[in-house]
Structure 1
Amino acid sequence: MKTPTLFHPLLSKATLLLTSIALISLLSGCGKDKDEFPGKIKIVAAENFYGEVAQAVGGDLVHVVSLLTSPDMDPHDFEPTPQASKDVDAAQIVIYNGIGYDEWMAKIIKASGGTDSKTVIAIGSDIMGKKEGDNEHLWYNPETFPKYAKVLAENLSKLDPLNADTYAKQADAYIATLAPATELAKELKQATAIPIAVSEPVFDYMAEALNLTVTDKKFELAAEEGADPAPADVAKLQDDIKAKKIKMFVYNTQSSSTTIQNMVALSKENGIPIIEVTETLPKDKNYIQWMTDILNQIKAALK
């Protein structure tokens, strides 16, 4: 007996047609993802203030993705999304702070092939000559961003030699935008060291540039490590505040504790100016606005 066939010519043609359309759509979609920014150098920056520089130096010739984009994100505890890994994998240049600050980025870079597959710029070690264990908050160092802009322009030029002049000019133009903060910092630099206290080391590079001496090193280190300062260090800072031995108290508003809050309150009671700083870029501000606002607080405190 002949086995009945389940083959139906019309059904088969329709199925093949639908399958072909689905396959073409899928391939077309993949193509759009790959060519979403055709001809542009793809850059991923761990922190948005580094991404800001990348966009300024690269201009219309680059597409920049910053992973840390909200002031509410903790750079130390950031959990990268699958999309972040995809962005890094597709990038030609990856920029991060390094020296232990954003270790999660180093892991993503390694998983995506490391420096063999892309240009990696670690601001701390590659540009500023720092090592793990050094102060991580390099964006408060007035020398960091001009150096970074120059290095980035050089790396973009290696990938795109025909536009080398454009990258160099755009780096110079960006550095010129830093002039208000640079000039203000020069104006505020003290001829004689002035003692200050800080809640943690976020501001220390800028303090050094202005010749402001941090007097509570043990206190700030404990705060940085999430530990309670030793009673003797707390007592010393309290005494310095009450005796007005410090000119200002620099307070990182994003990292606090009961002890730090008590120091802020004690400073206010004793007429010690409070300088409010943050670790991440505030909402609706760019880097130059951020730094200028802080320097203006310093200027008022030094009067």
Structure 2
Amino acid sequence: MSATRTPRVAAAALSLSIATALTLTACGSADDAKASGITVVASTNVWGSVAEAVAGDSATVTSLIQDPSADPHSYESTPSDAAEVTDADLVVFNGGGYDEFVEKILADTGSKPTVEAFALLGAEGDLGTEDGHDHSVTEPADGHDHEHGGVNEHVWYDIPTVDAVAHKIADELSKIDPDNAAAYTERAEAFHEKLHGIADVTAKIKTDHPNSPVAQTEPIAHYLLLAAGADDVTPGEFEEAIEQGNDPSPSALAATRDLISQKQVRALVFNVQTEGKVADDVRATAETAGVPIVEVSETLPDGLDYIQWQTQNAEALAEALN
């Protein structure tokens, strides 16, 4: 009996030893960020995902807004949010009046390393800024200039800006944590390469379907449409009213419905986080007319990181226009 049992005992001991080693390795990797003590706080999980791609195991990233029903435009910060921002080594936020609650906390916090995405709009790079859009125009104080062709605050749909944010995060973390500077830079470069996949999709749309007319319930995907060379023909009054939670004028609503029901647009870009009879009515109009619907959002869907999410958005637009 002992002759047959000994190998099994030895095998069991070996398996336990390997499992213990793997567990310790996994814990060590997960605990690296805790050991470093470096903390990054992002206003939303969109920027949190970008920060995580750069921080890796070298820093801990916390996103203040993750709930899809929370509107950063009107979000009221909690004492816990204020404490997170105050204690953070680095704060990453959108800016442009979008997540103003963070700016209010920072105003009371004093000097702190920050990365503001909106301030990096128009950054040069090799990710496709040749969209004919002047990214250098003077911004309105609240960032809400939504006239077609103008800039707006939803800059996480602007791939060159996101790339600039990732590299800025790497720069700031390298100053805070110089021992891991090379790792931060390496991760930012890896993220940059992944962004090329998204830019390639929009570039192909622009080539295959130039100036395709589309409608939006809100100007959320403004920069995605610009990169794809699509023409947002929605009445600006309609988009602005929906985004601000107001009812558009009867004429703006009628004009928008006509665009869709008469198939003057090839797709409807619909913000799934919008609630209201008007937006639902416009969606129903598109469904009845057989106009493809491209769903977009302001926070990450469950289970997706930034790259996966924006790749899906670009591919959904391509499929709709095909």
TM-score range, shorter chain: 0.7 to 0.9
| Matching residue within 28, 31, 43 for 1:46 | 43
Unaligned 5+ segments in structure 1 are: 1-35
Structure 2 distance, partners of 1:52, 1:68, is 12
Q: Secondary structure at the match of 1:37?
A: helix
Indicate the RMSD between aligned Cα atoms, in angstroms.
2.0
| Matching residue within 108, 121, 143 for 1:133 | 143
Q: TM-score normalised to the size of structure 1? A: 0.81
Residue 55 of structure 1 and its aligned partner are, at CA, apart by 2.0
Equivalence for 2:255: 236
Structure 1 distance, partners of 2:240, 2:220, is 10
Residues 1:212 and 2:230 aligned together: yes
Residues 1:178 and 2:195 aligned together: yes
1:86-136, Cα deviation, whole Å (9 max, x unpaired): 2211112111111111111111112222xx2x2022111255575532412
Q: 1:107 to 1:177 in 2, by over 3 A?
A: same
Equivalence for 1:202: 220
Q: How does 1:51-200 map to 2 (within 5 A)?
A: 51-113=48-110, 116=111, 118-126=112-120, 128=122, 132-134=142-144, 135-190=152-207, 192-200=210-218
Equivalence for 2:313: 294
Q: 1:65 to 1:155 in 2, by over 3 A?
A: same
| Matching residue within 256, 274, 292 for 1:273 | 292
Max radius of gyration: which structure? Answer: 1
Q: How many residues are paired up? A: 265
Equivalence for 2:277: 258
- Please identify, of 75-84 and 292-301, the stretch whose mean Cα deviation from structure 2 is larger: 75-84
Return the letter of the residue paired with 2:36: G
Task: Verify the 8 A CA contact 2:214 2:230 in the aligned structure 1.
Answer: yes
Q: TM-score normalised to the size of structure 2? A: 0.76
Return the letter of the residue paired with 2:177: D
1:243-293, Cα deviation, whole Å (9 max, x unpaired): 211111111111132222222112222121111111211112111221122
Unaligned 5+ segments in structure 2 are: 1-32, 123-135, 145-151
Q: Secondary structure at the match of 1:44?
A: strand
- Please identify, of 162-171 and 203-212, the stretch whose mean Cα deviation from structure 2 is larger: 162-171
1:62-86, Cα deviation, whole Å (9 max, x unpaired): 1211111222322233332322222
Structure 1 distance, partners of 2:295, 2:57, is 35
| Amino-acid identity (%) | 35
Task: Verify the 8 A CA contact 1:45 1:95 in the aligned structure 2.
Answer: yes
